[in-house]
Amino acid sequence: MNGLALVGHQFRYDQKAFWRNPAAVFFTVMFPVIVFLILAVVFNGETVNVRGGVEATTYYVPAIMSLAIISATMQTLAMTLVIAREDGRLKRGRGTPMPPWVFIAGRVGNSIVVALMMLVLLAAIGGALYGVSVPWDRLPAILLTLVIGAASFCCLGIALTAAIPSQDAAAAIVNALLLPLYFLSGVFIPEDQLPSGVISFADLFPVRHFFDAFFDAYVPAGGSAVSWDNLAVVALWGLAGLLLAIKFFRWTPRSG
Amino acid sequence: MSYGTTEAVRGIDLEVERGEVFAFLGPNGAGKTTTVEILEGYRRRTGGEVSVLGEDPERAGREWRERIGIVLQSGRLDPYLTVRESLDLYAGYFRSPRPSEEVISLVGLEGKADERASRLSGGQQRRLDVGMALVGDPELLFLDEPTTGFDPSARRQAWDVIAGLRNLGKTVFLTTHYMDEAQRLADRVTIIAAGRIVAQGTPEDLGERDVGETTIRYLADGSEVVLQTTDPVKTLHELTSAALAKGEELEGLEVTRPSLEDVYLELTAAAEENAG
């Protein structure tokens, strides 16, 4: 098989393993849907005072899409790669003729496909239950934002594995990083209810910028569809993650 | 060959012939895994020359990896893939893989082909692990402690699989800390202790076991007599002739050679004492 065919081969098996893994499916697919439904029920009928005012349900569609994309990429990669590394599965793979980049490309492809599915799923739920219209004319901007964000958060997830010593620590470290950022970035709590200091703090991190960019792409009230400045910050974080990953990613178990 | 500040192994000189099962035997911490990881290309050495299938593992590339198979000391499997899927996934990595069906029967997992790895017993998982190393149809197979932690019947099954590899003409480099495993499977055995080689030979002649002294024991008037001899045939003949002439029994007669276990324990204990 040539390189691309090999990536496709790897991807097929990554997909099988992903959909059979109850923890991955729950946190990546079910959790965002549940969170969206809870927030939509609680805040239905309210208006969030951003960009001239948007309905809360409209606000939460791109918010939870951002969460789902980060979960499908950074969170899924950090957790599954650490588990595979500590299992010795990465080391076993390195003992075969498969080029290492093929393995990473298969996993990244898996994450991006899941992220795209979550976009479709949340758009459908938001549209069907709360009449949040799908901005078809903005589709190119939405996909561009998704791809830049997904690629960047993939890099960050791969880089993060270097800081995770064991399988048990994986979920704790990933959630300790991401959950506070979701709260501080206005993903869970509408941003008009957060003190401005909190938003400025969240602005130091990529979650807030990605949410901002995704909001601009998805909500017509958001002005220009492509938020280049926010995407540039996200991409810079991704680049930093890529460099760290190249330097510190390891294929052999930390333990033993 | 060292890592950190401690030299793990030194002065190791080995040659493995094509088509043989070679056992690298030693206690835990003797340097077996360090050595085998250098040979597999996972670990860099600080000195010495290594050639595996004509190439230096540190610089060997994809072509070389087409020709070897590796079973790591502790490698778990993807719990969500079935036996067949795990093998098919790995088959895709190689240019001319052995069909997964063949591998499944080689490692005795017929009937488990569509079972997920997480539902296999420990012994079955290990056999799948061996299968994943065989799927590329390698010339040379590394097995790092393939049966550690197994119950006797799982070990017996794993041994049958490994013994079957010889019939396929594979070269097998086996590390183990079980003497019976080396004795049962290997054409040649090298014993390592405290990072050094302490003995090399076939399982029969290791540590001069074949020419060493034989012990003869029997009871005479209720007390044990122990004789050491290098010529057991002659000594036995004299003993039994005398006994027959007198019409006596040689009660509890026993003739023993030092077992591989005796040789092994003696050699490794001495090496570790010297190192400590």
pLDDT of B229-267, one tens digit each? 888 888 889 989 988 998 888 888 988 877 777 778 888
Residue B151's pLDDT is what? 84
Q: Residue B227 belongs to what domain range?
A: 210-275
Q: Please say whether the beta carbons of A80 and A161 come within 8 A.
A: no
Tell me: do B192 and B268 sit in the same domain.
no
pLDDT tens digits for range B48-100: 889 999 999 999 889 999 999 999 988 899 999 999 999 999 999 999 999 99
Check B93 against A97: CB less than 8 A apart. yes
Contacts of B34 in chain A (CB under 8 A): none
- Taking every pair of Cα atoms in chain A, the longest distance, rounded to a whole number of angstroms, is 58
Residue A124's pLDDT is what? 97
- Taking every pair of Cα atoms in chain B, the longest distance, rounded to a whole number of angstroms, is 76
Tell me: do B125 and B9 sit in the same domain.
yes
A214 pLDDT exceeds 90?
yes
Q: Which of A192, A241, A213 minimizes the C-alpha distance to A63?
A: A213
Q: At residue B219, what are phi and psi to the nearest 5 degrees?
A: -105, 130
Residue A247 vs residue B152, higher pLDDT = A247
pLDDT tens digits for range B196-228: 888 888 888 876 666 677 888 988 888 888 888
Task: Identify the contact set of chain B against chain A, taking CB-CB distances under 8 A.
Answer: 40-42, 62-63, 65-66, 68, 70, 72, 74-78, 80-81, 85, 88-90, 92-95, 116, 132, 136
Contacts of B173 in chain A (CB under 8 A): none
pLDDT tens digits for range A111-123: 999 999 999 999 9
Tell me: do B239 and B143 sit in the same domain.
no
Q: Hey, what are B154's tokens?
A: 């799982």
Helix (H) or strand (E) holding B224: strand B223-229
Picking from B75, B78, B93, the nearest residue to A17 by CB comes out as B78
Domain regions of chain A by residue span? 3-248
Residue A81's pLDDT is what? 97
Cα separation, A252 vs A90, whole angstroms: 7
Segment A64-88 shows an average pLDDT of 97
A93 pLDDT exceeds 90?
yes
Tell me: do B203 and B222 sit in the same domain.
no
> Which of B157, B187, B207 is the last residue in one of the domains?
B207
> Which of B178, B207, B236 is the last residue in one of the domains?
B207
pLDDT tens digits for range A3-29: 899 999 999 999 999 999 999 999 999
| Domain CATH number, residue B8 | 3.40.50.300
Contacts of A99 in chain B (CB under 8 A): 62
Residue B111 vs residue A1, higher pLDDT = B111
Q: Please say whether the beta carbons of B114 and B83 come within 8 A.
A: yes
Decide: helix, strand or coil at residue B143.
strand
Q: Hey, what are A74's tokens?
A: 């950074």
Tell me: do B7 and B110 sit in the same domain.
yes
Split at pLDDT 50, 70, 90, the class of A223 is: low
Tell me: do B261 and B130 sit in the same domain.
no
Task: Tally the domains of chain B.
Answer: 2
Tell me: do B111 and B15 sit in the same domain.
yes
> Which of B149, B176, B207 is the last residue in one of the domains?
B207
Helix (H) or strand (E) holding A127: helix A100-130
Tell me: do B151 and B31 sit in the same domain.
yes
Spacing of C-alpha B20 from chain mean position: 12
Q: Please say whether the beta carbons of B12 and B165 come within 8 A.
A: no
Q: Is the minimum CB–CB distance between A16 and chain B shorter than 8 Å?
A: yes
Cα separation, B118 vs B115, whole angstroms: 8
Residue B265's pLDDT is what? 82
Residue B4's pLDDT is what? 40
pLDDT tens digits for range A25-46: 999 999 999 999 999 999 999 9
Decide: helix, strand or coil at residue B15.
coil
With CA atoms as reference, the chain B residue closest to A90 would be B75
Tell me: do B227 and B267 sit in the same domain.
yes
Give the pTM: 0.87
Distance from CA of B63 to the nearest CA of A (A): 7
Residue B5's pLDDT is what? 45
Dihedral over alpha carbons A182, A186, A189, A191 (to 10 degrees): 170
Check B62 against A97: CB less than 8 A apart. yes
Residue B219's pLDDT is what? 87
Q: Is the minimum CB–CB distance between A2 and chain B shorter than 8 Å?
A: no
Decide: helix, strand or coil at residue B140.
strand
pLDDT tens digits for range B124-158: 999 999 999 999 999 999 999 988 878 888 888 88
A188 pLDDT exceeds 50?
yes
The complex's ipTM works out to 0.91
Tell me: do B67 and B133 sit in the same domain.
yes
